[in-house]
Structure 1
């Protein structure tokens, strides 16, 4: 496997997350490899009237990590971003390093932004009048609030960006960070995504558009990518942050390196505002561009963390993309959907799944896809239902993300 030698090499030196499986990377990875589910019944009072009563709630509340006054000034999406960023920053060793903060950036994505702050303040407006609306409402609800809060925490003074591409947002944040470093605009970028949309309005909206599963059985079995009985995704919440750094900068300070970010591909379907192109043409182009930018061959890819959300059409389209891009090598690739365990984190999904992809490559173990009891006969992929060892040696792995509006992002990681 030979990446483009003329391009600046970018590596992953730190990771952090909070999600339905765990409040940190180590706990999350252990749960993923064991095939545990973080989906459960909602005990909120409003859930009794909701069309869907399950979700992937966060495993560890931010109040257990963040100082109370600070947490109250943040929307839940920003709280998640801060928890993940704090872990990633500490994990990278940069907290104690001497760095040029003018060359430190943030690319923190969100698909929806501070929706809970917006809706709660609207309720306050209706019930108590305009004078009772929080003066912090706008800085809390704006989509770039998580990125801004992370930049304040680490003192990032290079570009601080917020990609918003629905469910592809987190992966797009990683792609943007890769570009910023390769273009020489930063040496280090904290990249990822966050989402906090488990609220009666978004859940009712997703349910009414027939996107959410309405399976009323055991909540841990409802998210079932590629299974014949799948009927929609399960909403999750949380965040993931990766510290991306130029290899030169990382090696100069003696940093631990998890993996290399080889390249990315970004395309659009121009097909439908919600449904993917049924033939997967846009996603196929994104994967091909990621491979081309990375300078790798289909035979170099040993693992894919698929977007596969457990929807009838989307899962099939992604299978077509994988075969179209990898050809005969598609049969040799171990494919997984960790959404079977976490639910769908929307704007945070790509970031959490990038962490899972990096760890799969780093440890040479693919997490399973759970609840795959009867694989759809139209899906011709190697999808293990228990953890699977991956082959040793130089190799690459892909992380796919696709979102409403036809957004497609594929990011390729390489072993180090």
Structure 2
């Protein structure tokens, strides 16, 4: 018999907050973290805005020597994981360490570190390239550093599935506990790809929203006038535990994780299949595994990237799976607030589901002004809403055709 899995701790670093609570309150307030680019010279680029994490330092929360070789993505992930552990009250000990896992993903890993050392190689020669580079730019660097910091010796890996990475990390943590390979998993994802090389390719793709003069209004999911995404960065960490263990130690329980699935469109490296066939399979499978009816889902935090195709396809999928009940569910995208955090987006957006269940409030889709006839569901326009949230779902899609869905439920 599979075991129940609950969330007992959360942590986050985003463009709107250095903690989970700060991030959540900004989501509820509809405060956008999108602004002018400061991490590099934006002048050569047609789009000059993004959602940057400002004034962030890991400080003395992690070993100074260990920090010396961390890339920006890892520092975000470490902070989110450390906060989540403190929030949960769970301690890794010699007695339980073998049953504590770390499943913490990143879509791109430490590209910033590679670029920095390429410059060192070009300017100063091969002897000046650090021997620690290979162990610290990889996508699983955060999961490794978190394990070293905490002493967790259980299952440890880093899902990599582009913008579906975060949701897949949470889902795989859920499955790991459910089947008995761990009792506790430190999970989540982190990303720091606000680099000139990535920004240049997004501009070349013409995938970015184009309003440089009004950064906080630029990204508008599900709106008729949506014209692209805006990149962001950050991390979200969560502590998942086997339910009986959490209950026995008197842990604060945010919610239960009840369903997860992933799939692929097997169609295109960039575009979703126009029928949403891959996402549809992931959502249907997650619902079946959760043992619920589609109509029981109160709140959906979708991928909601603000691109014309993505938002239309997601809306289509929800309507085909849920039928008339899709019009009763609240649906909101927080990407206009946090930016599109790439590999971190799925875990950051899962935070909006977890906190919605905790507070019985859902964050709004800001910048929604002009309805699109093809996107005709309830997108919680512009203002947070108090409502009953018993079951919430987050969906993610990623380059390469990846899809994922994770379902959360209030613990009765």
State TM-score, norm by structure 1.
Answer: 0.95
Tell me: CA distance 1:96–1:144, structure 2 relative to 1, closer, same or farther (3 Å). Answer: closer
- Does residue 1:212 correspond to 2:208, yes or no? yes
Show the 5 A alignment for 1:232-381: 232-381=228-377
Tell me: CA distance 1:65–1:28, structure 2 relative to 1, closer, same or farther (3 Å). Answer: farther
- Does residue 1:387 correspond to 2:384, yes or no? yes
Tell me: CA distance 1:69–1:305, structure 2 relative to 1, closer, same or farther (3 Å). Answer: same
Q: Secondary structure at the match of 1:412?
A: strand
Asked if the contact 2:45/2:203 (under 8 Å) is kept, the reply is no
Asked if the contact 1:14/1:242 (under 8 Å) is kept, the reply is yes
The equivalent of 1:75 in structure 2 is 71
The equivalent of 2:106 in structure 1 is 110
Q: Secondary structure at the match of 2:163?
A: helix
Give me the whole-angstrom Cα distance separating, in 2, the residues matched to 1:65 and 1:332. 47
Asked if the contact 1:301/1:333 (under 8 Å) is kept, the reply is yes
Q: Secondary structure at the match of 1:321?
A: helix
The equivalent of 1:163 in structure 2 is 159
Which of 394, 406, 412 aligns to 2:407? It is: 412
Give me the whole-angstrom Cα distance separating, in 2, the residues matched to 1:374 and 1:62. 40
Asked if the contact 1:366/1:390 (under 8 Å) is kept, the reply is yes
Tell me: CA distance 1:326–1:222, structure 2 relative to 1, closer, same or farther (3 Å). Answer: same
The equivalent of 2:44 in structure 1 is 49
Q: What's the offset of the Cα at 1:9?
A: 0.5
- Relative to structure 2, which stretch is displaced further, 189-198 or 369-378? 369-378
The equivalent of 1:126 in structure 2 is 122
- Does residue 1:35 correspond to 2:68, yes or no? no
Tell me: CA distance 1:61–1:211, structure 2 relative to 1, closer, same or farther (3 Å). Answer: same
Show the 5 A alignment for 1:172-183: 172-183=168-179
Q: What's the offset of the Cα at 1:66?
A: 4.9
Which of 223, 231, 242 aligns to 2:227? It is: 231
Give me the whole-angstrom Cα distance separating, in 2, the residues matched to 1:65 and 1:230. 42
Give me the whole-angstrom Cα distance separating, in 2, the residues matched to 1:65 and 1:235. 29
Q: What's the offset of the Cα at 1:404?
A: 0.5
Give me the whole-angstrom Cα distance separating, in 1, the residues matched to 2:6 and 2:319. 28
Q: What's the offset of the Cα at 1:410?
A: 0.2
Q: Secondary structure at the match of 1:397?
A: strand
Q: Secondary structure at the match of 2:256?
A: strand
The count of residues paired between Structure 1 and Structure 2 equals 409
- Does residue 1:58 correspond to 2:53, yes or no? yes
- CA RMSD in angstroms, aligned pairs only: 1.5
- Relative to structure 2, which stretch is displaced further, 117-126 or 15-24? 117-126
Q: What's the offset of the Cα at 1:64?
A: 5.1
Tell me: CA distance 1:235–1:187, structure 2 relative to 1, closer, same or farther (3 Å). Answer: same
Asked if the contact 1:51/1:204 (under 8 Å) is kept, the reply is no
Q: Secondary structure at the match of 2:352?
A: helix
Q: What's the offset of the Cα at 1:52?
A: 2.3
- Relative to structure 2, which stretch is displaced further, 93-102 or 317-326? 93-102
Q: What's the offset of the Cα at 1:51?
A: 3.4
The equivalent of 1:141 in structure 2 is 137
| Residues 106-133 of structure 1: per-residue CA shift (max 9 Å, x gap) | 1101111111001111121112211111
- Does residue 1:21 correspond to 2:16, yes or no? yes
Q: Which runs of 5+ in 1 are unaligned?
A: 1-5
The equivalent of 2:96 in structure 1 is 100
Q: What's the offset of the Cα at 1:215?
A: 2.4
Give me the whole-angstrom Cα distance separating, in 1, the residues matched to 2:46 and 2:270. 20
Q: What's the offset of the Cα at 1:72?
A: 2.7
Q: What's the offset of the Cα at 1:136?
A: 1.7
Q: Secondary structure at the match of 2:70?
A: coil
Give me the whole-angstrom Cα distance separating, in 1, the residues matched to 2:232 and 2:289. 31
State TM-score, norm by structure 2.
Answer: 0.96
Tell me: CA distance 1:45–1:412, structure 2 relative to 1, closer, same or farther (3 Å). Answer: closer
Q: What's the offset of the Cα at 1:29?
A: 1.1
Give me the whole-angstrom Cα distance separating, in 2, the residues matched to 1:96 and 1:317. 43
Q: What's the offset of the Cα at 1:375?
A: 2.2
| Residues 319-362 of structure 1: per-residue CA shift (max 9 Å, x gap) | 01111111111011000001111110000000111111110111
| Residues 29-87 of structure 1: per-residue CA shift (max 9 Å, x gap) | 11111110001101244222233211110144135565655433200010000010010
- Relative to structure 2, which stretch is displaced further, 278-287 or 206-215? 206-215
The equivalent of 1:3 in structure 2 is none
